[in-house]
Amino acid sequence: MKGKPLNFTCKEKLSHLLSLKKGDELQTIRKAWKEIGALECPDCGCKDIVTPTLKEKPPKYKVGDIVDYGWDLKSKYEWFIYCYNCKKSAPYTYSEIDLKLLSNDGKTFRGVCPVCKELPPALSFNKNLGKIKITEVFKIEMDKEGVSYHRNDESGISFKEYDFIKDFAIRDGFNSKEEMFNCFDKKYDLSTPKEFYVYRGIIT
């Protein structure tokens, strides 16, 4: 086992993550920088927050790494419920006696959804979702307009492509490229272009 687990918390992608099975591809996009905040203003020494600078960081995983992935791994809860009615998830906080609310294989939850209070089909799942073997790592640049990337093919030639964005968003588990851009803009502010690492792997 190498590296830290890949943690997912993006709600738009949960149903996609839960649908993956052995042999499927998992793609994820992670920021390629860290923020270095100035502790004090170099001019007057005041402690007012100075706009942090972005410093490039190396990729976390490399091709061949076997990596655990999971849902909301920092949560104190081990089990979650995903509701097919409201498309939301909630920690499974029922006591042991309520285990009868789970099907025999433990995968289907038959109780009332804690979010929408309906009684729809719902899935119970452990936050540790499985392992992937990393097969591709490359860097992209994303802004509100699109995604571009340079990849070195076997001849070592660097090229740039703009027409793969929809495929790219779908592979990442989003329903559309608009959903992907909105999600990243909200989280990382794409009014200026930002660099990200793309990791692709196969569920093992």
Q: Which residues are near Zn ion by CB under 5 A?
A: 83, 85-86, 113, 115-116
User: What residue type is 192 in one-letter code?
Assistant: T
**Nearer Cβ to Zn ion, position 111 or 146?**
111
Closest distance between Zn ion and the C-beta of residue 124, in Å?
13
Closest distance between Zn ion and the C-beta of residue 172, in Å?
24
**Nearer Cβ to Zn ion, position 90 or 202?**
90
User: What residue type is 181 in one-letter code?
Assistant: F
DSSP assignment of 30-86, as one string? EESEEEEEESS-TTT---SPEEEEEEE---S--TT-EEEEEESTTSS-SEEEEETTT
**Nearer Cβ to Zn ion, position 10 or 115?**
115
Closest distance between Zn ion and the C-beta of residue 114, in Å?
8
126 - beta bridge partners?
79
Select from 131, 115, 141 the least CA-distant residue to 201: 131
Close Cβ partners of 155 (under 8 Å, ≥ 6 residues apart)? none
Closest distance between Zn ion and the C-beta of residue 77, in Å?
17
Closest distance between Zn ion and the C-beta of residue 128, in Å?
23
Torsion 43-45-47-53 (CA) sign: positive
Provide the 3-class DSSP secondary structure of residue 180.
helix
**Nearer Cβ to Zn ion, position 61 or 109?**
109
**Nearer Cβ to Zn ion, position 84 or 162?**
84
71 - beta bridge partners?
8
